[in-house]
Structure 1
């Protein structure tokens, strides 16, 4: 029987005993994840942190249905994920907006694909374009936008479909520090409108704490698994640029960094040993 939340509903996302292996060039298996257990409640904002190569992005592909686990189970709202899961949106690290379409066409593409009449799709798209602060840019093409503006388009493109689950793979990593903080604040404001369950992958621990209700720390790969999970009991609504200075934030940062630092050290040691072996 699937686990349930305190309200009696199943978790929005449940990964239980998940192992994922890939075949290498010489045919031997590489274990990216092993015995991974993560649950996310409906409406919860969960951030996942860990060193490079620990399987954070792989975890998102398993939840989305873009890939299947080698062992264990992945469920969305209590149902096994056997294909691309309905009600799930995926925001990638690189822009997934269509370069040959205008902002309006990009944002309205989801509703139109789902059968919405053109006028309604355009009206809803204009509303979301306004919400992300791009009114007046409906006719622009992606190459005419800044990096931060393209991320706003991607947010509108995902949220217009009112997903129950939003998967985000380091979506702001390519932005400068100021724009990244601004986009994080805008994300929280937009998330509050519909409260999808979010799994947000990031290398930035400050970003994770500022955004999330919980932070999951993964161990270094290969065979990464959950090392620890921390509840982020900071009040909402939050101002991302300001909450980092609160004493409670600083205490959480030190606590989580103690768990994360050892894994970063392990991952760094593995890469330096590999480099040294290759040089010999």
Structure 2
């Protein structure tokens, strides 16, 4: 069997809470991600999904248990990780081309090498002709394409995505989902994609991991046996998609209701 590129072994993360207490964001996480696998993570709002990404990226240290990347405990930012946040990280004073070239430049590429590689990815994500545009001249969907190119230009082995399309309108979001599948295909990169949208999770992923209400732990792990390549609009119309949605929603709904009940209890 192929060794996992990401592995959680009872991973727990605690933060200082209000009033001197301790807040446990995630507890006793157990799951793996194989090389080249696309795993979507869903769960109630505020349950700790983003914290899971932070443990993989090294932005946060595991409080108990272990988080491993390529078989080694994460004690800093591992090599070969790309991170696409909910809010894009484009620099407003740089053009599209220079924004995408910025990562390779930081990694030691010459200006000409970085711009050549950036130009390839600008074309790949459908922004040919917009190389000299600045972020304020772009639509929301175009900015997301820049962010996607920024993430992929460095050939990451692991791509972490924290609700990257949540701020987009429905039509643009669907276009970006298809675009993600197109540009990810063939890269060999493993993806961990956090989303609140179960339809999005199923349409994109090889597996859907469901987390409990806070503190989050895994309560469901579902294989998505939908053929690739996929068109997200077409795949949502299939019987297989609807059957899987119903199955996963049964688990996720219980956790959403538990989170609401917990929130109502705090208000009361």
Q: Secondary structure at the match of 1:73?
A: strand
RMSD in angstroms over aligned alpha carbons?
Answer: 0.8
Counterparts of residues 120-135 of structure 1 (less than 5 Å):
120-135=113-128
Q: CA deviation at 1:195?
A: 2.3
Partner residue in 2 for 1:37: 30
Do residues 218 (structure 1) and 211 (structure 2) align? yes
Counterparts of residues 227-246 of structure 1 (less than 5 Å):
227-246=219-238
Partner residue in 2 for 1:19: 12
Do residues 162 (structure 1) and 164 (structure 2) align? no
Q: Partners of 1:122 and 1:269 in 2: how far apart?
A: 52
Counterparts of residues 246-257 of structure 1 (less than 5 Å):
246-257=238-249
Q: Partners of 2:136 and 2:212 in 1: how far apart?
A: 38
Q: CA deviation at 1:114?
A: 0.7
Q: Secondary structure at the match of 1:101?
A: coil
Consecutive unaligned residues in structure 2, runs of 5 or more = none
Runs of 4+ in 1 over 6 A off after TM superposition: none
Partner residue in 1 for 2:75: 82
TM-score scaled to structure 2, two decimals? 0.98
Partner residue in 2 for 1:153: 146
Q: CA deviation at 1:32?
A: 1.0
Q: For this pair of structures, how many residues does the alignment match?
A: 268
Q: Partners of 2:175 and 2:145 in 1: how far apart?
A: 11
Consecutive unaligned residues in structure 1, runs of 5 or more = 1-5
1:131-170 alpha-carbon deviations (Å, 9 max, x no partner): 1110111111111111000000000001010000000000
Partner residue in 1 for 2:107: 114
Q: Partners of 1:246 and 1:142 in 2: how far apart?
A: 38
Q: Partners of 2:48 and 2:125 in 1: how far apart?
A: 31
Q: CA deviation at 1:119?
A: 1.0
Partner residue in 2 for 1:3: none
Q: Partners of 2:18 and 2:219 in 1: how far apart?
A: 29
1:165-214 alpha-carbon deviations (Å, 9 max, x no partner): 00000000000001001000000001103120000000000000000000
Say if 2:41 and 2:195, in contact at 8 Å, map to a contact too. yes
Q: Partners of 2:231 and 2:208 in 1: how far apart?
A: 18
